[in-house]
Chain A
Amino acid sequence: MSLKLGVPSKGRLMEKTFDWFGARGLDIRRTGSEREYAGAVGGIDGVDLVLLSAGEIPRELNAGRIHLGVTGTDLVRERIPAWQDRVEELSGMGFGQADLVIAVPKCWVDVDTLEDLDAVASAFRQRHGHRLRIATKYHRMVREFLREAGVADYQLVDSQGATEGTVKNLTAEAVADITSTGDTLRANHLKVLSDGLIHRSQATLFRSKSAAWNDRTRAALDILSERLEENV
């Protein structure tokens, strides 16, 4: 059995992943035709490449079907319950940075903190008869964050895309979304709460704790780990 390394199959995330491993002496590339999802790893023995959609990598790590995988820390926290028991962060990769934040309309001049949001949620519910809606696709992380902060009287509404537009479209009062520069939030007349940073995400190499590890895969991981340490 070889060590299975799951990497994103498309786009900039894939290219940067390949570059990152390349800088550490691992030659990762796609093989076959442009449309074929096949790849190879050179410069190390006993490692098989598995090309996956970035969003599926947490699931495969959790199930132990891949030994290592590259994905965002946000997706791991959102999709793997008790993630610390299931995977280990081996190395942050320094790209794919994005912050998961809570943002409200800029015109809410009275709101800057979670304490404000909580007070407004209470008044909003009394006035409008329903809980204050927060649009997001990161349900678990947002829920846990707001529970810790003691915010009540809100509801999460699912938004898989164009989340920043939900306030203007009257389908949500606030959003919890990923942002890297804040430009999209600003363009949609939203502002981030000063204590509204839920998570700072980046592309990260994870190890699955539930994958079957044997002498061969362990040896491959040892060599890989040495390479990573040499290049810190």
Chain B
Amino acid sequence: MQPTKDQVRAEAGRLRSVFLEAGARIVDPDILQPADTLLDLYGEDIRARAYVTGDPLKGEQMLRPDFTVPVVEMHMASGEGAVRYTYAGEVFRRQEVAEPGRANEYFQVGLEIFDAADPEEAEAEVFARFASVLAPLSLRAAMGDIGLLTSAVSGLTASAPRKAALMRHIWRPRRFRALLERYSGRSRVPASRAELLRRLKAESAEALLAANGPQIGLRSPKEIEARLRTLQDDAAELPISAAEVALIDDLLDIRETPGNALARLRDIAVDMPALDPALDRLERRFDVMQSHGVDLDAVEFEANYGRTTMEYYDGFVFGFYAGRQPHLPPVASGGRYDALTRVLGQGREMPAVGGMIRPGLVLELGRGGAA
């Protein structure tokens, strides 16, 4: 039987009080959020997932699709230092295609920790607290670390523009893969690009532009010429080696217990030392998690975890799942989102880690016995 809304609200309150006892401050962000902020963060795709409504004076608004964005905005605007927040309330998710097991409107309870002092400690604490409140449900836990991939990209033998392009698509795996194939010479340069580069050897950019006039639109001839130079520089660059691409492939393939994953990652780092700092952090996180009583062997480490669903999460990421009911969304998920504080911080940034639980699912699974 589905729990009633009152029961879910009560469960949300109970979970929030657990986080309150952990020293968190209660926040209650507005349901109506300015659409511009969310569109600038997530692009047009968010329109497929969030309800858009209009206000004659404030312009386009969205029914909050999550709490993290307004909490980050509020914290960054406050100028405060280390603070932890908790919240409980409804979020709204539009669905263009009916997704079984996913409600359009459901409760979330969250814990968000803004603290620069000891990132691994904060990560381990969030995970341990979530694991503890969810323990009765015997859920499957998974985690990853997006910082491994960003470290690997920064360690590639490639130009800054190539690395920046790969970094920009960390959370869009298909485009990331296409770029990697292009930069490593595994996919061909499109015929039109080859032709353009050939012509640029024979004539100047100005002449090329003059032959394709008139100039219209906001993008200026200077911007076009700058990109032509970028394309020429790129064409002159050596391909990323097959060995380096293989290391990235090996890294993304990892799906192991944390201990085994760390050992394999250390192997990869022998040929890619740029990974070492991220691996030291990973190792320390595992240690602190164990000291918090987390049974690491019961958690699966997936190097690819969170890449399609957790944009702006740029370090530790995790989720808890009802293993026997794979159609259900995660019962809880979260991670480190320093990148989000950087984008919303208007020049400031602050290490932050947090997560949310679906109290409705907690009740549902609790009643049905083992998840």
Contacts and interface: CB of A to CB of B under 8 A. Distances in A.
Contact of B193 (A112, A127, A189): A112
Nearest to A174: B217
Given A82-B96, A108-B224, A143-B48, A173 B212 contact: no
Contacts of A108: 219, 224
Interface in A141-198: 143-144, 146-147, 149-156, 167-168, 170, 173, 189, 194
Contact of A154 (B43, B182, B223): B43
A232 interface: no
B227 interface: yes
B310 to A, nearest CB: 16
Interface residues of A, number: 41
Given A109-B224, A110-B231, A143-B44, A150 B175 contact: yes
Contacts of A149: 175
B221 to A, nearest CB: 8
Interface of A: 81-82, 105-110, 112-113, 115-116, 118-120, 122-124, 127-128, 131, 139-140, 143-144, 146-147, 149-156, 167-168, 170, 173, 189, 194
B27 interface: no
A152 B190 contact: no
Q: Which of B48, B212, B217 has the most CB of A within 10 A?
A: B217
B134 interface: no
B220 to A, nearest CB: 9
B178 A81 contact: no
A143 B46 CA distance: 10
Interface stretch (B15-23, B85-93, B165-173): B165-173
Given A110-B231, A152-B43, A105 B175 contact: no
Given A107-B216, A115-B178, A123-B223, A154 B192 contact: no
Interface of B: 39-40, 43-45, 47-48, 96-98, 165, 168-169, 172, 174-176, 178, 182, 190, 192-193, 196, 208-209, 212-219, 221, 223-224, 226-228, 231
B51 to A, nearest CB: 14
Contacts of B227: 110, 119-120, 123
B44 A155 contact: yes
A150 B169 contact: yes
Interface residues of B, dominant DSSP = helix
A143 B94 CA distance: 15
Q: Which of B168, B174, B214, B216 has the most CB of A within 10 A?
A: B216
12 contacts: A82-B96, A112-B193, A115-B190, A116-B193, A120-B227, A128-B218, A140-B96, A150-B172, A150-B175, A150-B176, A152-B168, A167-B217
Contacts of A194: 190, 192
Contacts of A173: 217-219
Contacts of A105: 215-217, 219
A107 B224 contact: yes
Contacts of A107: 209, 212-217, 221, 224
Contacts of B172: 150, 152
A190 to B, nearest CB: 8
Contact of B174 (A124, A131, A150): A150
A141 to B, nearest CB: 12
A131 B193 contact: no
B218 A143 contact: no
A107 B213 CA distance: 5
Contacts of A154: 43-44
Contacts of B219: 105, 108, 120, 124, 173
A115 B230 CA distance: 14
Closest 10 CB pairs of A and B: A150-B175, A112-B192, A81-B96, A82-B97, A110-B227, A167-B217, A150-B172, A168-B216, A143-B44, A105-B217
Contacts of B168: 122, 152
A217 B34 CA distance: 49
Contacts of B228: 109-110
